[in-house]
């Protein structure tokens, strides 16, 4: 009986204990249900206290609360969200991040899921027509990631739009719109976003876009500047604009003409594969008067390309910026358009108080106060069609120094105007103009074309009539900045690059309006015809930068790198002894001299590198299967032999003309020996690069007697580097250093192939044995102690290397 009563009591107490839990759960559930359905009346959120702005969305502000009123008609519509830094922390990103830098660009959709609005990132990398069965698979296998979720706070009065509080999107650390990449977070040891020091400055709504400015302050252990604050603060700009429902007709890419591109996999294609389609990026230009355009008359586009100058641009440079932009008008005229690209001053606050360079409606040339020496030309692109929506050219103030210095170094020998650090304004203006033209070219869709400089005969660059008509290369999109070929006495030549015939050709190919077709595929017939018409002319070839093609090199000029570099070195030998006179001033130190001397060595290295590319070089000429000829052609043996002769004479023989005592004794207490060693070692390492040697082996396998073999290369190099031993000549410290480096590189080549022996390791081993015998036989013939010790050291080093190599080989076999 006691046990029964006890069990009843336990059951009773259990029920009592469970009831509060159940009651609490029921209460919580009711609260959740209430939260889910708690949507306030419109006038509870939007009322007389609210400041509203009409545009793409209505934007509302109530104190520090910001709301978007999103029309349901704009749900699931393609919008582009571009994140930029509008105010930058000093030194953030090492100089290449600045006010105006883009940190992300993504296509987004606003979608409704019950009583929430989702912001989703959308990709057009995989597509199919929505009428096809496979469209469902494309959609299911490319599910859109959610960037952020917002509860619907209210509906507007006629229930055609949802109101959401937007604060959290901009005041929490959302990676998709952040100004700090993971790399920068790691570099500066960022802990978190400090909400207390982050805030929204303003949100403005325009007919086709919404602009947001918000401050983000991060706690960081090692910030790039102002380290005592322990923070990094940025003002971010978020530009979101609706994309047109009717997309621009895309134009299919052809790799024979250089363009920036977008890629899509078209799963609705009839091709028996995932059909990759590549389209060029370009602005949408449509003739105002199509009939006149078809008759061959120049016609204005319905909407021209307009660039505004940053109000921060110094007034004296503004005319040159404008010329650099509008230089492209002539190229667009070739494509049938007049006034297609315009440069304008930014409106004043009085003229347009809402104008902002971060506003996605405006393309600007930004002038950035920065020590960075560069300029860039990015653009914002519709990923569906390749249409360029807008772009911002960035000119960094300190880039003036880059062009001042190189103008002096590369043209000063023959150009009196360049012989000063106080470059004449007209000359600097011309350089700025051409840099802006180059960057605008990028923003129009054109990448670098490094083959353009090879289109012109090298000696023609010494002709005034030729260079004034044709410039220095067939396009401004090459890195042919200066005419370093022209020699003293070559009067009237052009020193600075300009647009060329390829620019007209490429703009016509990409922008001419083709009205008699309605699909990208049908356009290809016309586009191919234009390419074939120019196929035999080197002025219209395209080639990106690569490591093996002597005709596609950065910073080169002319069609013969050996002749061009010989002219260039001849000029540098005039510049070097005049550098003190041209770069110093009374009462000033030698900082400029030190900088210019270091850059002179860089120029020397570039000229030398152009020649080295000839050895193991392969010309690439991009073709399609219907064209005659081949794509890849190895350089002939004679050209490679000439290149090796140039290197032995100008590079591996000590360039003593660089050892200007008046320079060296004023810029540093020591370091000349190491400087020469570093210069020569870099070129020797480049010459004996394994990729180059393997290309030479391939060439010999295919073209035995016509090929320049690596056996001959190694032999001619050895004869050049060790030439003193033949006649017991003195070996100075510069040559001793170079000889040590030669042995070190050969040892590395011998040991590198641990798993599989190759011709390279075999030849390296044979060369070491030859050098060992040479040094052993020669050491006794030298009375100079340091030379003898040097040779004995080399002999001993090679002996140990060969013994180690044999030991490792034996034990590897045994294993």
DSSP 612-666: HTTTT-EEE----TTSSS-SEEEPPHHHHHHHHHHHHHHTSS--GGG--HHHHHH
The span from the CA of 87 to the CA of 101, in Å, is 9
The pLDDT of residue 33 is: 42
Q: Which residues of the chain have pLDDT under 70?
A: 1-37, 94-100, 125-143, 265-275, 753-755, 805-815
The span from the CA of 168 to the CA of 173, in Å, is 9
If phi over 0 gives left and psi between -120 and 50 gives alpha, with beta otherwise, what is residue 240? beta
The pLDDT of residue 815 is: 41
The span from the CA of 627 to the CA of 629, in Å, is 7
The pLDDT of residue 31 is: 44
The pLDDT of residue 808 is: 57
Crossing angle of the two packed helices 785-814 and 733-752, in degrees rounded to 10: 0
For the chain, how long is the longest CA-to-CA vector?
A: 127
The span from the CA of 770 to the CA of 203, in Å, is 75
The span from the CA of 39 to the CA of 163, in Å, is 10
Paired strand residues for 618:
634
Structural Rg of the chain based on CA atoms: 34
267 CB-near residues (< 8 Å, 6+ apart): 126, 127, 128, 134, 137, 138, 274, 275
Crossing angle of the two packed helices 710-721 and 733-752, in degrees rounded to 10: 150
The span from the CA of 413 to the CA of 522, in Å, is 54
The pLDDT of residue 813 is: 38
The pLDDT of residue 510 is: 98
**Nearest 5°: phi and psi at 343?**
-115, 135
The pLDDT of residue 345 is: 95
The pLDDT of residue 9 is: 46
The pLDDT of residue 126 is: 57
The pLDDT of residue 32 is: 42
What count of Cα atoms within 13 Å lies in the side-chain half-sphere of residue 683? 29
What count of Cα atoms within 13 Å lies in the side-chain half-sphere of residue 341? 29
The pLDDT of residue 29 is: 43
The pLDDT of residue 705 is: 82
The pLDDT of residue 753 is: 67
Paired strand residues for 342:
306
């Amino acid at each position: 009986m006691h046990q029964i009563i006890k069990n009843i009591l336990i059951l009773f107490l259990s029920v009592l204990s469970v009831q509060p839990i159940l009651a609490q759960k029921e209460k919580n559930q009711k609260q959740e249900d209430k939260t889910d359905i708690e949507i306030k009346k419109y006038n509870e959120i939007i009322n007389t206290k609210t400041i509203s702005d009409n545009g793409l969305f209505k934007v509302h502000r109530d104190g520090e609360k910001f709301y978007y009123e999103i029309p349901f008609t704009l749900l699931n519509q393609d919008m582009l969200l571009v994140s930029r830094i509008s105010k930058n922390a000093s030194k953030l990103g090492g100089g290449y991040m600045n006010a105006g830098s883009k940190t992300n660009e993504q296509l987004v959709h606003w979608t409704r899921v019950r009583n929430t609005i989702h912001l989703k990132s959308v990709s057009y990398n995989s597509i199919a027509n929505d009428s096809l069965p496979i469209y469902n698979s494309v959609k299911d296998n490319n599910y859109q990631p959610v960037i952020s979720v917002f509860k619907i706070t209210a509906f507007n009065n006629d229930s055609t739009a949802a109101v959401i509080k937007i604060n959290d999107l901009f005041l929490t650390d959302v990676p998709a719109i952040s100004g700090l990449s993971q790399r920068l977070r790691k570099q500066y040891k960022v802990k978190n976003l400090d909400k207390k020091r982050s805030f929204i400055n303003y949100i403005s709504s325009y007919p086709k876009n919404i602009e947001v400015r918000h401050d983000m302050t991060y706690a960081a252990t090692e910030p790039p500047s102002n380290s005592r604050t322990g923070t990094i603060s940025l003002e971010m700009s978020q530009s979101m604009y609706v994309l047109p429902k009717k997309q621009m007709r895309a134009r299919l890419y052809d790799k024979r003409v250089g363009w920036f591109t977008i890629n899509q996999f078209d799963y609705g294609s009839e091709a028996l594969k995932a059909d990759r389609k590549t389209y060029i990026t370009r602005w949408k230009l449509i003739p105002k008067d199509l009939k006149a355009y078809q008759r061959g008359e120049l016609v204005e586009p319905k909407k021209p390309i307009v660039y505004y100058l940053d109000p921060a641009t110094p007034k004296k440079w503004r005319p040159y910026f404008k010329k650099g932009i509008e230089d492209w008008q002539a190229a667009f005229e070739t494509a049938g358009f007049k006034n297609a690209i315009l440069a304008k001053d930014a409106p004043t606050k009085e003229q347009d108080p809402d104008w902002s360079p971060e506003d996605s409606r405006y393309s600007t040339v930004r002038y950035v106060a920065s020590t960075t020496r560069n300029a860039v030309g990015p653009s914002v692109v519709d990923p569906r069609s390749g249409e360029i929506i807008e772009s911002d050219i960035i000119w960094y103030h300190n880039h003036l120094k880059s062009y001042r210095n190189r103008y002096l170094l590369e043209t000063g020998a023959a150009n009196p105007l360049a012989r000063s650090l106080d470059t004449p304004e007209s000359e600097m203006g011309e350089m700025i103009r051409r840099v802006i033209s180059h960057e605008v070219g990028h923003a129009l869709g054109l990448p670098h074309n490094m083959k353009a400089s090879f289109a012109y005969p090298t000696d023609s660059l010494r002709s005034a009539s030729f260079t004034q008509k044709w410039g220095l290369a067939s396009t401004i999109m090459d890195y042919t900045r200066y005419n370093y070929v022209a020699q003293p006495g070559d009067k009237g030549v052009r020193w600075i690059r300009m647009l060329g015939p390829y620019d007209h050709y490429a703009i016509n190919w990409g922008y001419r309006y083709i009205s008699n077709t309605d699909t990208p595929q049908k356009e290809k017939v016309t586009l191919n015809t234009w390419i074939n018409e120019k196929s035999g002319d080197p002025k219209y070839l395209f080639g990106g930068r690569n490591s093996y093609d002597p005709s596609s090199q950065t910073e080169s000029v002319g069609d013969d790198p050996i002749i061009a570099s010989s002219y260039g070195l001849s000029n540098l030998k005039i510049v070097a002894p005049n550098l003190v006179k041209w770069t110093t001033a009374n009462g000033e130190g030698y900082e400029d001299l030190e900088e210019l001397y270091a850059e002179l060595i860089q120029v020397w290295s570039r000229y030398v590198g152009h020649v080295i590319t000839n050895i193991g070089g392969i010309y690439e000429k991009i073709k399609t299967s219907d064209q005659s000829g081949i794509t890849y052609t190895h350089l002939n043996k004679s050209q490679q032999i000439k290149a090796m002769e140039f290197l032995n004479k100008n590079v591996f023989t000590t360039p003593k003309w660089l050892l200007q005592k008046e320079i060296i004794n004023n810029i540093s207490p020591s370091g000349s020996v190491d400087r020469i060693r570093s210069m020569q070692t870099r070129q020797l390492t480049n010459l004996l690069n394994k990729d180059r040697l393997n290309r030479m082996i391939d060439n010999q396998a295919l073209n035995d007697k016509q090929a320049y073999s690596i056996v001959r290369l190694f032999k001619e190099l050895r004869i050049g580097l060790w030439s003193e031993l033949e006649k017991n000549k003195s070996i100075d410290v510069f040559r001793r250093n170079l000889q040590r480096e030669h042995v070190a590189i050969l040892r590395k080549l011998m040991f590198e192939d641990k798993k599989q022996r190759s011709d390279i390791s075999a030849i390296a081993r044979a060369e070491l044995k030859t050098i060992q015998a040479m040094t052993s036989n020669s050491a006794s013939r030298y009375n100079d102690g340091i030379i003898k010790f040097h040779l004995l050291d080399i002999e001993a080093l090679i002996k140990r290397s060969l013994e180690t190599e044999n030991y490792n080989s034996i034990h590897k076999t045994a294993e």
